[in-house]
Amino acid sequence: MSANLPSAKPWYVCLCKPRREALAVRKLEEQGYEVFLPMLTQWQKARSGWIRKKPQVMFPRYGFVRCGRPEQSIAPIRSTPGVSGLVRFGAFPATLDDATLAAIRALAESQARAMDEERTPFQAGDSVEIAAGPLKGLSGIVSAVADERVSVMLSLLGREQPVAVPAAHLTLA
Protein backbone atom coordinates (compact mmCIF):
# COMPACT_ATOMS: atom_id res chain seq x y z
CA MET A 1 0.00 0.00 0.00
CA SER A 2 2.86 2.41 0.75
CA ALA A 3 4.24 1.92 -2.80
CA ASN A 4 1.40 4.06 -4.17
CA LEU A 5 1.81 6.86 -1.64
CA PRO A 6 3.80 9.93 -2.66
CA SER A 7 7.30 10.38 -1.26
CA ALA A 8 7.40 12.06 2.14
CA LYS A 9 9.82 14.60 0.62
CA PRO A 10 8.90 15.30 -3.01
CA TRP A 11 11.27 17.01 -5.44
CA TYR A 12 9.95 20.37 -6.67
CA VAL A 13 10.76 21.86 -10.07
CA CYS A 14 12.49 25.19 -9.52
CA LEU A 15 12.53 27.90 -12.19
CA CYS A 16 15.79 29.86 -12.05
CA LYS A 17 16.60 33.26 -13.46
CA PRO A 18 18.46 33.15 -16.81
CA ARG A 19 22.04 31.88 -16.38
CA ARG A 20 21.69 31.99 -12.59
CA GLU A 21 21.29 28.26 -11.91
CA ALA A 22 24.63 27.98 -10.04
CA LEU A 23 23.76 30.93 -7.79
CA ALA A 24 20.32 29.46 -7.06
CA VAL A 25 21.82 26.06 -6.19
CA ARG A 26 24.39 27.61 -3.85
CA LYS A 27 21.84 29.80 -2.05
CA LEU A 28 19.29 26.98 -1.72
CA GLU A 29 21.95 24.66 -0.29
CA GLU A 30 22.98 27.38 2.20
CA GLN A 31 19.36 27.37 3.43
CA GLY A 32 19.47 23.59 3.98
CA TYR A 33 17.56 22.42 0.88
CA GLU A 34 18.60 19.38 -1.14
CA VAL A 35 19.26 20.51 -4.71
CA PHE A 36 19.94 18.66 -7.95
CA LEU A 37 21.05 20.49 -11.09
CA PRO A 38 21.69 17.94 -13.88
CA MET A 39 24.64 18.79 -16.13
CA LEU A 40 25.83 17.71 -19.59
CA THR A 41 29.29 18.03 -21.13
CA GLN A 42 29.47 19.22 -24.74
CA TRP A 43 32.25 19.38 -27.35
CA GLN A 44 33.56 22.75 -28.55
CA LYS A 45 35.56 23.48 -31.68
CA ALA A 46 38.75 25.48 -31.15
CA ARG A 47 41.60 26.38 -33.50
CA SER A 48 43.68 23.52 -32.14
CA GLY A 49 40.87 20.99 -32.64
CA TRP A 50 37.92 19.67 -30.69
CA ILE A 51 37.98 20.17 -26.93
CA ARG A 52 35.59 19.21 -24.19
CA LYS A 53 33.50 22.12 -23.09
CA LYS A 54 32.73 22.84 -19.49
CA PRO A 55 29.55 21.19 -18.24
CA GLN A 56 26.29 22.86 -19.21
CA VAL A 57 22.92 22.71 -17.47
CA MET A 58 20.80 19.88 -18.89
CA PHE A 59 17.57 21.85 -18.53
CA PRO A 60 18.47 25.57 -18.77
CA ARG A 61 16.70 27.62 -16.07
CA TYR A 62 15.37 24.51 -14.27
CA GLY A 63 16.62 22.66 -11.23
CA PHE A 64 15.17 20.32 -8.65
CA VAL A 65 14.86 21.06 -4.96
CA ARG A 66 13.38 19.42 -1.89
CA CYS A 67 13.26 20.20 1.79
CA GLY A 68 16.28 19.03 3.73
CA ARG A 69 14.42 18.81 7.06
CA PRO A 70 10.88 17.56 7.77
CA GLU A 71 9.77 20.91 9.22
CA GLN A 72 11.27 23.01 6.39
CA SER A 73 8.85 25.04 4.25
CA ILE A 74 9.04 25.60 0.50
CA ALA A 75 7.91 29.24 0.90
CA PRO A 76 11.44 30.76 1.11
CA ILE A 77 12.45 29.17 -2.21
CA ARG A 78 10.75 31.85 -4.31
CA SER A 79 12.69 34.68 -2.63
CA THR A 80 16.08 32.97 -2.94
CA PRO A 81 18.61 34.85 -5.10
CA GLY A 82 18.77 33.29 -8.58
CA VAL A 83 15.30 31.75 -8.27
CA SER A 84 12.21 33.00 -10.12
CA GLY A 85 9.90 30.60 -8.31
CA LEU A 86 8.54 27.07 -8.39
CA VAL A 87 6.90 25.66 -11.50
CA ARG A 88 3.19 25.35 -10.79
CA PHE A 89 0.16 23.68 -12.30
CA GLY A 90 -2.56 26.02 -11.15
CA ALA A 91 -2.18 26.39 -7.41
CA PHE A 92 -0.06 23.22 -7.03
CA PRO A 93 3.74 23.15 -7.37
CA ALA A 94 5.10 20.65 -9.91
CA THR A 95 6.75 17.66 -8.22
CA LEU A 96 8.81 14.66 -9.25
CA ASP A 97 9.06 11.35 -7.48
CA ASP A 98 12.38 9.77 -6.50
CA ALA A 99 12.28 7.29 -9.42
CA THR A 100 11.98 10.05 -12.05
CA LEU A 101 14.76 12.06 -10.46
CA ALA A 102 16.94 8.93 -10.25
CA ALA A 103 16.39 8.35 -13.99
CA ILE A 104 17.47 11.93 -14.79
CA ARG A 105 20.52 11.52 -12.52
CA ALA A 106 21.43 8.22 -14.23
CA LEU A 107 21.13 9.83 -17.68
CA ALA A 108 23.46 12.70 -16.69
CA GLU A 109 26.00 10.31 -15.16
CA SER A 110 25.85 8.03 -18.22
CA GLN A 111 26.52 10.96 -20.56
CA ALA A 112 29.46 12.09 -18.40
CA ARG A 113 31.00 8.58 -18.50
CA ALA A 114 30.52 8.40 -22.28
CA MET A 115 32.27 11.77 -22.73
CA ASP A 116 35.23 10.50 -20.68
CA GLU A 117 35.64 7.60 -23.12
CA GLU A 118 35.25 9.62 -26.35
CA ARG A 119 38.38 10.91 -28.05
CA THR A 120 36.52 13.07 -30.58
CA PRO A 121 32.91 14.19 -31.00
CA PHE A 122 32.58 11.94 -34.06
CA GLN A 123 31.28 8.39 -34.23
CA ALA A 124 31.02 5.92 -37.11
CA GLY A 125 27.94 6.76 -39.18
CA ASP A 126 27.94 10.52 -38.44
CA SER A 127 27.46 12.88 -41.38
CA VAL A 128 30.32 15.38 -41.46
CA GLU A 129 31.56 18.27 -43.54
CA ILE A 130 35.21 19.06 -44.10
CA ALA A 131 35.67 22.65 -42.92
CA ALA A 132 39.41 23.11 -43.55
CA GLY A 133 42.24 21.76 -45.66
CA PRO A 134 42.41 20.79 -49.34
CA LEU A 135 39.08 18.91 -49.22
CA LYS A 136 37.18 21.83 -47.66
CA GLY A 137 33.47 21.85 -48.57
CA LEU A 138 33.11 18.10 -49.17
CA SER A 139 30.68 16.03 -47.14
CA GLY A 140 30.88 12.40 -46.13
CA ILE A 141 30.11 9.73 -43.59
CA VAL A 142 32.48 8.80 -40.75
CA SER A 143 33.63 5.19 -41.15
CA ALA A 144 36.23 4.97 -38.36
CA VAL A 145 37.70 7.14 -35.58
CA ALA A 146 41.29 7.16 -34.31
CA ASP A 147 43.06 9.40 -31.80
CA GLU A 148 43.80 12.32 -34.10
CA ARG A 149 42.33 11.31 -37.46
CA VAL A 150 38.88 10.37 -38.62
CA SER A 151 38.28 8.14 -41.64
CA VAL A 152 35.55 9.66 -43.81
CA MET A 153 33.90 8.00 -46.81
CA LEU A 154 33.86 10.60 -49.59
CA SER A 155 32.42 10.35 -53.07
CA LEU A 156 35.45 11.09 -55.26
CA LEU A 157 35.58 10.53 -59.02
CA GLY A 158 32.30 8.65 -58.98
CA ARG A 159 33.08 6.14 -56.23
CA GLU A 160 33.30 6.00 -52.45
CA GLN A 161 36.81 6.42 -51.05
CA PRO A 162 37.93 6.39 -47.40
CA VAL A 163 39.99 9.49 -46.60
CA ALA A 164 41.80 10.13 -43.31
CA VAL A 165 41.10 13.67 -42.14
CA PRO A 166 42.32 15.44 -38.98
CA ALA A 167 39.42 15.70 -36.53
CA ALA A 168 40.09 19.44 -36.23
CA HIS A 169 39.09 19.86 -39.91
CA LEU A 170 35.61 18.34 -39.46
CA THR A 171 32.24 19.63 -38.35
CA LEU A 172 29.04 17.67 -37.85
CA ALA A 173 26.69 18.14 -40.80
pLDDT score of 150: 86
Same domain flag for 31 and 74: yes
Give pLDDT tens digits for 93-128: 999 999 999 999 999 998 888 776 666 778 888 889
Give pLDDT tens digits for 65-96: 999 999 999 999 999 999 999 999 999 999 99
Same domain flag for 52 and 74: yes
Do residues 59 and 88 touch, judged by C-beta distance below 8 A?
Answer: no
Give pTM, 2 decimals.
0.68
What CATH code is carried by the domain that includes residue 162? 2.30.30.30
Residue 122 placed within a domain? no
Which run of H or E residues covers position 29? helix 21-30
pLDDT score of 121: 79
Least confident of 11-15, 38-42, 136-140, 147-151: 147-151
Q: Is the pLDDT of residue 16 over 90?
A: yes
pLDDT score of 167: 82
Range of the structural domain that residue 148 is part of: 127-172
Q: What is the mean pLDDT of the chain?
A: 86
Q: How many domains does the chain have?
A: 2
Contacts of 13 (CB under 8 A, 6+ apart): 62, 63, 64, 86, 87, 93, 94, 95, 96
Same domain flag for 37 and 16: yes
User: What's the CA angle centered on 1, arms 4 and 9, to 5 degrees?
Assistant: 50
